Structure 1
């Protein structure tokens, strides 16, 4: 994330592109406070230090301070993080998506900051939310809550919805987990023209993702030719011929693999078949 302090923990591992892209909303919930006994917000630096030391095994991708708009990033978007419980042999919660972006908001109910007590996350200034929402969107995560935008500390989990639908999920929605956060979350930010990830200008200027089945040997389309030119422009040219550039073939798969690796994908996630997240970032001109 461009706005974030980068504190890469290493220990990267791929996500599973067989599932749709997701983002998970958490709060740090690092203190117990009440209406009668609010407590001061824990400093951002303290949580940042926790996730780079004793809490490495629980670190999300992004720590967000909704009071100041500060961000820290601990893992690249293309790697899984370890912010969710993930039972052996289960749904691989931390990996079940082209990306599974874990976002931890620095917040607990009835926290006090700058003399103001906030009962819910949406009572905070939510500074930086539009930038965070745009970054998540740029990775192909749609602006939708498949199980409903959280409005209270209640759980509602459906493994079938989780496996089949992309979008934002509360920690309270994730299978194999028993947390009930975040309690609330800000409304999606208005998309701006030209914003990476699908603002109004993107929908007309750039070619929408056709679907993985579109990219079959022998498929002829001007979309493939436009993709060819973008891959060359991104220094991912692994073609052995400049003929038939509108026909999908082995050179396209090799070149697209180079693009996926440039984005940080590896293993089966860099197999040369376009996925929505990597396609959106390639920004193929609309034909």
Structure 2
């Protein structure tokens, strides 16, 4: 339950809104990666540790449009995340609307965003 709170920025675990999309983990061999949360999740301008982990992975992949490198990676989805993700999509060979910076399932799964850990 605590991990769900962390991943989804839920201050009170007793309050979950009807229709709210939650990020949950699934296992991939010995490592945990965040499953694709859906384009709607990104459209909701999430504020989540998942966004920070995604940013770290983008930097690892050489797709860094953050103003201060890793220090510029924040938990709220913004234009720096979108620009970095678009760079990742282009690195994968996507073009046009497929490289608009909004994650899709294929590019997200290839990025392999690790599950955030409490306190880290």
TM over 0.5: yes
- Taking a change above 3 Å as real, the CA distance of residues 205 and 239 of structure 1, as seen in their structure-2 partners, is same
Shift of 1:268: 0.5
Q: 1:201 aligns with which of 24, 29, 53?
A: 29
Describe the superposition over 1:43-89 as per-residue Cα deviations: whole angstroms up to 9, x where unpaired. xxxxxxxxxxxxxxxxxxxxxxxxxxxxxxxxxxxxxxxxxxxxxxx
Q: Per-residue deviation at 1:216?
A: 3.1
Cα distance in structure 2, aligned partners of 1:244 and 1:265: 24
Point out the structure with max Rg over C-alpha. 1
Pick from 46, 49, 67 the counterpart of residue 222 of structure 1.
49
On the 8 A contact 2:58/2:85 being kept in 1, the answer is yes
Q: Hey, what's the Cα distance between the residues in 2 that align with 1:200 and 1:240?
A: 32
Query: Retained in 1: the 8 A contact 2:55–2:73?
Result: no
Closer, same or farther in 2 for the Cα pair 1:199/1:286, shift >3 Å?
Answer: closer
What's the secondary structure of 1:205's corresponding residue? strand
Question: Does 1:235 find its partner at 2:62?
Answer: yes
- TM-score, normalised relative to structure 1: 0.29
Indicate conservation of the 8 Å contact 1:253/1:273, yes or no.
Answer: yes
Runs of 4+ in 1 over 6 A off after TM superposition: none
Q: 1:268 to 1:222 in 2, by over 3 A?
A: same
Task: Name the counterpart of 1:11.
Answer: none
Aligned mates of 1:228, 1:268 — CA distance in 2:
21
Residues 64 and 84 in structure 2, CA contact (< 8 A), matched pair in contact too = yes
Deviation at 1:274, TM superposition (A): 0.1
Give distance in 2, aligned partners of 1:207 and 1:218.
Answer: 17
Cα distance 1:234–1:200, how it changes in 2: closer, same or farther (>3 A)?
A: closer
How many pairs were matched up?
89
Does the 8 A contact of 1:209 with 1:276 survive in 2?
yes
Q: Which runs of 5+ in 1 are unaligned?
A: 1-197
Q: Is the 8 A contact 1:217 1:249 kept in 2?
A: no
Unpaired stretches in structure 2, ≥5 consecutive residues: 1-25
Cα displacement string for residues 158-216 of structure 1 (whole angstroms, at most 9, x for unaligned residues)? xxxxxxxxxxxxxxxxxxxxxxxxxxxxxxxxxxxxxxxx97427x5111000001113
